[in-house]
Chains A and B, each alone.
Chain A
Amino acid sequence: MTATAAPARLSQARDRRAGHWPGTLIAGTALLAIFVGIAIAAPLFGNPLQQNLIGGLTKTGLPLGMSWAHPLGTDTLGRSELARLAFGIRTSVIVALVSNLTSIAIGAAVGLAAGFFRGPVEAILMRVTDIGLALPYTLAALVIAGLMTAGLTRVIVIITALFWAYPARLVYGEVLRLRHRGFVESGEAMGASGLAVVRRHLAPHMLPLLVTYSPLNAASAVVFEATLSYLGAGINPPTASLGNMISDGQDAISYAPHLLLVPAVAILAITLSFLLIGEGLKSRNPDLARVSWLGR
């Protein structure tokens, strides 16, 4: 590895200059663009709340299979599965984008503050981060869920409350690595205020780390939203979420497995798009290959 690392890195640097995008990055971005498109255009796929207990079910009351009128069939209440899928995707995409921003922003702020201001600030912030990392995730989420009414806000608050600690740790480690480097110390020696050093010299160095981490964070947010909604602690029916669609589909597991599989494939594809972007970014910047995925 040591022998080949240098040329590999040189060629990578050349690739970056030439604006070369690795295949994984292209595939991931394209896939994500499709899902963002579906999220925006969700209303075009039909009304996800329109129940049709007569025409939307078979004579014996079972969900319909695929047809021109209902490309993905109907669910147990005769609602169009395609429309519900589109709105479920919309939910996932919104949760991924918003909670990714909020959790990383809070985590980065905590990590920067703890790493730069030594002493009691560092001690308190990092102990709080330890608590955040020691929380049993799902249980903590269920407890927080009990405090709020169901909906997008609840999911975003829960994910932010649980997901900020890991990036805080990442950023903190990075600041520790950098804070004795020349450019930080010379900035301080020149009499720059602490805030200026953080803003001008430290924060920009965090960008590659955070950009690489964010698609992985977004992927875990999608998974976690689905999990919460599956457990009834996220977005509740009738609002569509991929997680609560699976929960509904579970009741029909023995006679209409597509109600389970369709949203499952959607979750897989959305998460995969983020993971591919993450892999692509990592391969462009081998220094960051150690940035790993946090959630399950």
Chain B
Amino acid sequence: MARTLIRRVALGLIAVLGVAVLAFLAEFVVPGDPARAIAPRAQSAAVLQNIRVQLHLNQPLIVQFADYFASLFHGNLGTSYVQRQSVASLIAPRLVTTGWLALAGVVAEIILGGALGLVATLYPRVRAAVTAVNLTLLALPQFVVGLVLLLVFGFRLHMAPVTGGAGPAEIILPALTLGLVGAPWYAQIVADQMADSLSSAYVRTAVAKGLSDRYILRRHVLRNVLSPALTMIGMDLGAYLSGVVTVEVVFGWPGIGLLAVESLQNLDRPVVMGTVIVGAVAVVFFNLLADLVRMYVDPRTREEPA
């Protein structure tokens, strides 16, 4: 167990470092001059050169690389070119905002997906209809679902705000978007696991013992759904915290994804790097966390995979 954990953490760190190196290389060959982005109306070359010196942009790439990673290892993500603030202080509040959306989205997924999966298993007559709903939701990109919700509930029915921002009223549509797009995955997990359990020997035994259907469902069937669902929840939380870029753009939700898009447009390299690294950490961390929780609740998964 401890060995598995150390191994997984080490592999995760290597992956994050790899993402950081790739992002750095990509970011610094992006055409464009950050000095120009900072001072678009600067007339004199001296002013631009001054900015470049201040930001160490005049140094060779290898020196910049070494500087960046040296401070990264000290937990310092650098300073924004444009906002003159530390990247960490820019990202932290955005991460919280995205965190709320991620959480609300995962809850919506579990409710919608769980309902679809349960209905499909318990009522075979509507199974085909549920499959059709699942496939349709799978086929739709996030931003399309978001825009259609915005069109119907925002612009036509005037039931939801259309102006963007973060708040309890504003979170409903983006969370519903994540929920609808993610639901088929949970529905599939629930349906598969329930089918497995229902045909198992322990459920047959439970029936033979004369236990009620409701008790068997709660005690023997639904419990088995938990383990794979946890993996999925971990993957989703990681992916969403790395920025639900399209949903945040569609709804103007001021999270980390929107920050990344703005920074890319401003050539604000340290902020872009920060969002990419934080995103990779989120992906790795939540996958690991989900696996650990899963090992805790489901002893079958404790063995080290070959």
Q: Which residues of A are interface residues toward B (Cβ below 8 A)?
A: 1-4, 127-128, 130-131, 133-140, 142-144, 146-147, 176, 219, 223, 226-227, 230-231, 246, 250, 253-254, 257, 260-261, 264, 267-268, 271-272, 275-276, 279, 292-293, 296
Contacts and interface: CB of A to CB of B under 8 A. Distances in A.
A143 B23 contact: yes
Contacts, number: 148
A127 B147 contact: no
A136 B275 CA distance: 9
Contacts of A254: 155
A227 B30 CA distance: 21
A222 to B, nearest CB: 9
B63 interface: no
B222 to A, nearest CB: 17
Contacts of B245: 138-139, 142, 231
B22 A276 contact: no
Contacts of B279: 136, 139
A128 B14 CA distance: 9
A250 B135 contact: no
Given A139-B257, A219-B138, A226-B144, 6 more contacts: A139-B272, A253-B151, A257-B151, A261-B151, A276-B135, A279-B135
Contact of B139 (A133, A144, A147, A268): A268
5 contacts: A131-B15, A138-B257, A227-B142, A253-B151, A268-B144
Contacts of B272: 139, 143
9 tightest CB-CB pairs across the interface, nearest first? A136-B279, A136-B242, A131-B18, A1-B199, A271-B139, A138-B245, A134-B15, A146-B30, A272-B139
A140 B276 contact: yes
* Listed residue (A138, A253, A279) with the most chain B CB atoms within 10 angstroms of its CB: A138
B101 interface: no
Contact of A130 (B14, B144, B243, B246): B14
Given A144-B26, A268-B144, A275-B135, A134 B264 contact: no
Interface of B: 11-12, 14-16, 18-19, 22-23, 26-27, 29-32, 135-136, 138-144, 147-148, 150-151, 155, 181-182, 185, 188, 195-196, 198-199, 239, 242-243, 245-246, 249, 257, 260-261, 264, 272, 275-276, 279-280, 282-284, 306
- Interface SS majority for chain A: helix
Contact of A230 (B246, B260, B283): B246
Contacts of B141: 223, 226-227, 230, 267, 296
Contacts of B32: 146
Nearest to A134: B15
B261 A128 contact: no
Contacts of A268: 136, 139-140, 144
Contacts of A147: 26, 29-31
Nearest to B199: A1
A136 to B, nearest CB: 3
B129 to A, nearest CB: 14
* Listed residue (A134, A140, A147, A254) with the most chain B CB atoms within 10 angstroms of its CB: A134
Contacts of A3: 199
Given A139-B276, A250-B147, A131 B199 contact: no
A143 B27 contact: yes
